[in-house]
């Protein structure tokens, strides 16, 4: 089992993206409410470039809640404003500063992963964007200056000029960064399905994971976002659905949770419907996981 699996004692550790409104510790309290093993958070208001520092009281409460509940935030999702591929100098500079700040917040909160959507080339071309992302990642990493944090690139659906919708693009971003040991990958199930990778059956999952291993390497895969898709395979549309209510279907998710190659990794819901939907879909996913536990 991976490090997070050891912490939670669950295989796989299941959770969701929870809110920090009212304080970063709120995310853990919501995790308790939905009976999560782990959670994903924003480190600050996701619609702002920079956020205010955490107070000593907020941090004290946060670490106390972690210890008492056993729920560990495993990943920070960065601000939606950040575009590490931007050809616009002012936006790129703001993005680099903001992402470096996200990394530093991860260090402060003792969260191992900080995740970003790789970025959009905005018409300048994919080669330009991939190279820009690599350079930006290196700069951000050097600004953060701590080996205890890992950057996670999330696979995308490929909508518009968004990059990261093929495993080859993700590989090239990592290779061009010069900080390969400090960059990992998150597979978003909705995104890769929309990008054209079939995951609806055991055979399809094996082919997709084989391809990921061949191009990037499974050792680089650190977590999953679990989302069904409102649109069909290869649609290039990023529209999440609840588990089993989209075009991927329940079999795709049950297969994933039973796959011993990857089912030690954290799996985070990002579905519509709020806390109640999270709670219900975690119950559903646990029926898949319980089949593993009893085997």
Residues labelled as active-site residues: 47, 77, 80, 117, 154, 188, 191, 225, 238, 240, 270
What are the structure tokens assigned to 34, written together? 């939905």
Bridge partners, residue 115, by sequence = 77, 152
> What is the CA angle 66-68-69, rounded to 5?
70
What are the structure tokens assigned to 21, written together? 């409104």
- SS3 category, 130: helix
C-alpha–C-alpha distance, residues 194 and 282, integer Å: 23
How far, CA to CA in Å, does 65 sit from each of 155, 182, 215, 269? 31, 28, 40, 21
C-alpha–C-alpha distance, residues 121 and 111, integer Å: 29
Q: Is the dihedral of CA 118, 119, 125, 130 positive or negative?
A: negative
C-alpha–C-alpha distance, residues 195 and 169, integer Å: 12
From first CA to last CA, the distance across the chain in angstroms is 17
């Amino acid at each position: 089992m991976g490090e997070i699996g050891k912490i939670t004692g669950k295989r796989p550790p299941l959770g969701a993206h929870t809110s920090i409104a009212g304080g970063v510790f709120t995310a853990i309290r919501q995790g308790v409410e939905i009976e999560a093993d782990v959670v994903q958070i924003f480190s600050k208001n996701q619609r702002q470039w920079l956020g205010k520092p955490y107070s000593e009281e907020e941090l004290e409460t946060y670490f106390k809640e972690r210890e008492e509940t056993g729920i560990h935030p495993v990943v920070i999702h960065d601000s939606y404003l950040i575009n590490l591929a931007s050809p616009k100098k002012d936006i790129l500079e703001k993005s680099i500063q903001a992402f470096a700040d996200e990394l530093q917040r991860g260090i402060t909160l003792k969260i191992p992963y900080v995740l970003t959507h790789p970025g959009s080339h905005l018409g300048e071309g994919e080669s330009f964007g991939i190279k820009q992302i690599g350079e930006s990642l290196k700069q951000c990493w050097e600004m953060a200056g701590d080996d205890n944090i890992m950057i996670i690139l999330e696979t995308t659906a490929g909508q518009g000029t968004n990059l990261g919708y093929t495993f080859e693009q993700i590989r090239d971003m990592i290779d061009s960064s010069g900080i390969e040991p400090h960059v990992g990958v998150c597979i978003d199930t909705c995104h890769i399905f929309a990008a054209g990778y079939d995951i609806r059956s055991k055979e399809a999952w094996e082919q997709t994971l084989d391809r990921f291993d061949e191009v990037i390497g499974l050792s680089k895969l650190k977590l999953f976002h679990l989302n069904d898709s409102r649109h069909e395979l290869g649609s290039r549309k990023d529209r999440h659905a609840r588990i089993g209510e989209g075009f991927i279907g329940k079999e795709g998710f049950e297969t994933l949770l039973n796959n011993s190659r990857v089912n030690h990794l954290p799996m985070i819901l990002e579905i519509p419907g709020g806390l109640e939907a999270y709670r219900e879909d975690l119950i559903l996913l646990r029926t898949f996981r319980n089949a593993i536990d009893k085997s």
